[in-house]
Structure 1
Amino acid sequence: MRRYHPLLVTLHWLLAVMVIGGLVMGTFALAATPNDDPFKITALTMHMGMGVLILVLMIFRLIVRFATSKPPHADIGNALLNKGAIAAHWVFYFLVIAMCLSGLATANIAGLPAIVFGGSGEPLPANFDDIPPRVAHGIIATLLGLLILAHILAGFYHHYVRKDGLLGRMWYGQRDA
């Protein structure tokens, strides 16, 4: 087997775009917008909605990953790097799910569901910095961004330096050799 199941491929690329979009939105749009700006509610609505959808899709992706056959792990001739690559993929699952859960915890502690989705008319808190899950959310965002960068660089390394066709495993086409 040369490729992942087409549903896993779709989930991989869809979640990649969504996670990167969520990180960019949180880092640039939300962090730069004061909590008393009316746009903040709109941005939070989109960010929180996307976060919940990411969580649901990640759990679905884990189920699909366990339920479908996959190609063997890549072997680049270095046992430590091979094990590191396997671990990095599991760390992706952990960090994305932890990111979503810390976001949900932050939202609940700050009373955001009623403010953002319930139209309670309450103002947003002055800031979210004193909410412990928000601190975790920021740390996880940094770790996730670094892991994404390493993942992209590893993909480029395989494609342009090793020229081993590894990227093709996460694309559509014949699954068997």
Structure 2
Amino acid sequence: MTRYHPALVALHWLLALMILGALIGGAFSLDPIPEESPDKIGVLRLHMIFGLAILALMVVRLIVRLRTPHPEPADIGNEALNQVAPWLHWLFYALVFGLAASGIAMALEADLGAIVFGGAPGPVPELDTLTPRAGHGLFALALALLIAGHVGAALYHQLVRRDRLMRRMSFRRD
């Protein structure tokens, strides 16, 4: 087997775009808006919807990953890295699930669902004072760094090793 299942490929690229959007939106759109601003609720609503959609799709992705055949791990050219790489892929799942769990915990602690979706009077509580906020930020930072490393590794395979590794996560036929 040389390729991942088409459903896994589709989920990979859809989730990549959604996760990048949520990370960028959280850092550059949501965080800078003061809690008392009426715009905060709308941006937070979008961020929460994206987060819940990502969580649901990650559950589907995990099920598809566990139930479909997939290629053997790639040879990186370094035995130590060959041993670490599969664990780093599972770390993606752990970080995304941790990010979702900390986001849900923040929403529950601050009753954000009632404010953002239920029309309860605002403003949004000071998010930085919430217990899960630090974890949410650390999960986001770790995920962003892992994504950067993942993209760098994919480019290394494609441009330096020229082993056509990226075809495994594409819809192209050989």
TM-score by length of 1: 0.95
Shift, 1:76, TM fit: 2.4
Cα pair 2:37 2:123 within 8 Å, conserved: no
The AA in structure 1 aligned to 2:72 is: P
How many Å separate the matches in 1 of 2:161 and 2:38? 50
Report deviation, 1:173: 3.2
Separation (CA, whole Å) in 2 of partners of 1:110 and 1:51: 17
C-alpha deviations, 1:73-110, integer Å up to 9, x for none?
A: 10123221012111110000000111011001001101
Match of 1:64 in 2: 64
Q: Structure 2: how far apart are the matches of 1:119 and 1:77? A: 56
Alignment-derived partner of residue 158 in structure 2: 159
SS in 1 for 2:132: helix
Determine helix, strand or coil for the equivalent of 1:120.
coil
* Structure 2: distance between partners of 1:168 and 1:150: 18
Contact 1:3/1:173, CA 8 A, preserved across alignment = no
Structure 2 matches for 1:10-89, cutoff 5 A?
Answer: 10-89=10-89
- Paired residues in the alignment total 174
Q: Which amino acid in the other structure matches residue 131 of structure 2?
A: P
Q: Which residue of 2 aligns with 1:92?
A: 92
Q: Which has the higher contact order (CA 8 A, sep 6+)?
A: 1
Aligned to 2:112: 112
Distance in 2, Cα, partners of 1:162 & 1:89? 20
Give the match for residue 135 of structure 1. 134
Aligned-residue identity in percent: 49
Amino acid at match of 2:159: Y
Counterparts of 1:82 and 1:171, CA distance in 2: 22
Tell me which moved more, 90-99 or 71-80.
71-80
TM-score (norm 2): 0.97
